[in-house]
Amino acid sequence: MKNENKAASKESLRVAHLLAKEGKPFTDALDESTDITDTAQLLLFTRGVNADFEVTEELASMNSLRGTTTGEDIFKEVEEMLTKYNLKWNQLKCVTTDGGKNMSGTEPVVSTVNFIRSRGLNHRQFRDFLSEVEAEYPDLPYHTAVRWLSSGKVLLRFFELREIEIFLNEKKRPQPLLSNTEWLWKLAFAADIMGFLNGFNLKLQGKTVLICETYTAVKSFRRQLALIESQIMSSCFVHFPCCQTLKEEVDSPFPHEFAGDIFSELKKQFQQRFSDLDASAEDISRFENPFNCTIEELPPNLQLEVINLQCDNMLKGKFQENNLTEFYKCLPSDEYGELRSYARGLISVFGSTYLCEKTFSKMKYVKSQYRSALTDEHLQSIMMIGSTNFDPQFEEMLSKKKNFIHPISSLKLCFKQ
């Protein structure tokens, strides 16, 4: 394990040192979450693109923050990482973070789900109860703060299994809100809006998602949000199935003021959180389609190359046939050096903190309740191995050991005997 960990660490160092030596741009994606012992763990991934347009994403560092987790604390950790790898601040093109909040732990839905799922007897009885009443679903999902998509799934399933009220009454733990139609409206709206947000979040996930794909999803979501708001305020629930179901079951009016406040806050948050993308909209558009941009509006160092590009029908055909990375890779470096460099900078930008979220999910399995005493050093080593794209050469490492006998050679010896 030590050799494999060293190999993974060397791969991160190799990538970082190559970026530092060539002065190439790179971007970081970072996020912080707590492990089973409530220790804050900060992940920092680095992405770089070399001259051959090969994209490299590696976990540059994982740090345990046992004190405060302020912005200043996180900044210091980033600064130490740059110093360790001899990277310069002017090479850092972008930092991608996730500022979203999880569901509140005091919310009635979460407390009720935890009451059912955290106790074995309650959980078994609840599943038997659902079977007896022939409920649509056999169980409730367990909400977990790290897996941020679970919030919407929990709300949706909780709304669909409103038979929970009967079960809670039988357990002498009544929940009065389940009989409150105003609260049920809010639950239905929350389930629908979270499902809507989850659909948007999923579009941002995946490896090597380009920044232009992220911005396209953001612009599309904003327009959808405006449309849905106008429909909801007119009590049209064609895109909100939970609200439509409740509308058919109860006579009480939909809480328009509550929904209006949510929509207003949501639009405000989207405006703030994606303001950096809005500020870079022209750069993203040029990168996404260099054949559809005004020469006079381009940076001077790109103008001549883009004129040549727009006049080349063969390259226009390659643009239509290939993805963006492959297209920019095929441009001759002697003719389009500035444009290739410009493209590499934007390709290196993380579209989301997907890699951090994925790694945190692994961390919950690695440092579980059965391995809560795992040291920070060992946790970091395991996570480095589990997240790296480096392919360890086991046979080569083992062949250098004095007492190592290759398995095939061992079989030959057996047959000889």
pLDDT digits (tens, 9 = 90+) for 281-312: 999 999 999 999 999 999 999 999 999 999 99
Overall size of the chain counted in residues:
417
Q: Which of 216, 214, 220, 217 is nearest to 347 (CA)?
A: 214
Q: Which two tokens stand for residue 77?
A: 């950790």
Contact between residue 59 and residue 53 where contact means Cβ atoms under 8 Å apart: no
d(CA 272, CA 208): 24
What tens digit of pLDDT does each residue of 169-183 get? 888 888 888 889 999
| Those residues with Cβ within 8 angstroms of residue 157's Cβ, 6 or more apart along the chain or in another chain | 137, 140, 141
Pairing of strands 26-34, 92-96: parallel
Q: Can you tell me the mean pLDDT for 103-111?
A: 60
Q: How would DSSP label each residue in 204-266?
A: H-STT--HHHHHHHHHHHHHHHHHHHHHHTTT--TT-HHHHHHHHH--SPP-HHHHHHHHHHH
pLDDT of 377 strictly over 60: yes
d(CA 350, CA 26): 10
Cα 102 from chain centroid (whole Å): 14
% of the chain beyond a pLDDT of 90: 30
Query: Tell me, what's the pLDDT at 1?
Result: 47
Helices (H), 254-299: 256-273, 275-279, 281-288
Q: Spell out the domain ranges in the chain.
A: 2-98+353-397, 102-179, 288-347
Distances in Å between the Cα of 37 and the Cα atoms of 15, 41, 172, 370, 378 are 32, 11, 33, 11, 15
Query: Tell me, what's the pLDDT at 239?
Result: 94
Pairing of strands 40-49, 55-65: antiparallel
Its pTM stands at 0.74
Contact between residue 29 and residue 96 where contact means Cβ atoms under 8 Å apart: yes
Query: Tell me, what's the pLDDT at 19?
Result: 57
Contact between residue 381 and residue 366 where contact means Cβ atoms under 8 Å apart: no
Q: Can you tell me the mean pLDDT for 395-413?
A: 60
Q: What is the largest CA-CA distance in the chain?
A: 87
pLDDT of 119 strictly over 90: no
